[in-house]
Amino acid sequence: MNNLSSDGGPLAFPPWLRAPLAGLVALVQTRQPPPGLLVAGPDGVGKGLLVRTFLQRVACKKASEDVFPCGSCNGCRSFLSGSHAEILEVTPEEPGKEILVDRVRSVIDFLSLSRSGPARLVFIEPAESMNVNAANALLKTLEEPPEGAMVVLAAARPARLAPTIRSRCQRLRIPSPDPALVRQWLAPMAGQGLTVDEALAASLNRPMAARALLDDPVAIDIWRQDREALGMLLESASPFPVATRFQACDLGSLLPRLQRLLVSAQAYLLTEQPDAFGRLFERGALERFARNRGLQELSRLFQDSLQWHRDLPTALNPQLRCEHMVLRLWRRGS
């Protein structure tokens, strides 16, 4: 965060987030910011970066007219270290887990403390991961907010939030940015044999995930392993080497990419042309895989793959899980 830039350099702030950031900074500078703000938008569009930049800007002691924080003052340093006295971030204890009621109760205690700045701020992400009890506890705070308190929620699936919470929040929608703008932003970061288009496809068209991929050699290696495994799924005459290859992959990254491949196979049957993700694989192999299964079976496989992903945290035998998945993928038309 302390390397934020508004120019076109490698660590430039996403251009589609600049106007929303300016709006947030202006919002908190009003005499009475809203007690609740819901930032909604697709996964990977940059909601978290937007809110954290905004929070750091509030903490910054040197920023004046600039909407970007300086990154070097005491306020910025305390925010970046997670020790700022008037800013609290709430996330699940583990990725994919629920936010429990005890975490939200800590928010209530935090907001009741006295403040020295323009607002006492809480950021909850992903907001839709709050369980029922946590959401009910938060609702009470939104209904009767302490003076100067502001709760910022970020959600990719805001419909999962209780209507009563949504109705008490001012909403900021972050739409998917223009693809050409995303490619232009990512272009200076391309390297290590990975093009911008491949990074976007591998990241399921999520700009922030594509940026992270381009900047992380380990993530690039994981993607290449996943791509090889999916290519083998399309091309291999036997399921057993595919199962072995799947077992060598991180299923947490492989399964979303498998789901995307199944969507690409369906798209091929409808258009007879590979989409952006499908073009990462041999066209003939993609066509054979798609035609051997057909639209209905591909749709069923996609639904199965969603369930496999949901079951992943509780899978007791990952090796058996991989074998089951691959045999299911092979069941018809192969």
What confidence tens digit (pLDDT) does each residue in 36-65 have?
Answer: 999 999 999 999 999 999 999 989 988 777
d(CA 209, CA 206): 5
User: 3.40.50.1100, 1.10.10.60, 1.20.1250.20, 1.20.272.10: which CATH number matches 216-330?
Assistant: 1.20.272.10
Q: pLDDT, tens digit, for every residue of 157-191? A: 999 999 999 999 999 999 999 999 999 999 988 87
Residues 9-17, mean pLDDT to the nearest whole number = 75
Q: Where are the domains of the chain?
A: 15-173, 216-330
The domain covering 15-173 belongs, at the CATH homologous superfamily level, to P-loop containing nucleotide triphosphate hydrolases (3.40.50.300)
Task: Name the pTM for this structure.
Answer: 0.85
Residues 126-146, mean pLDDT to the nearest whole number = 93
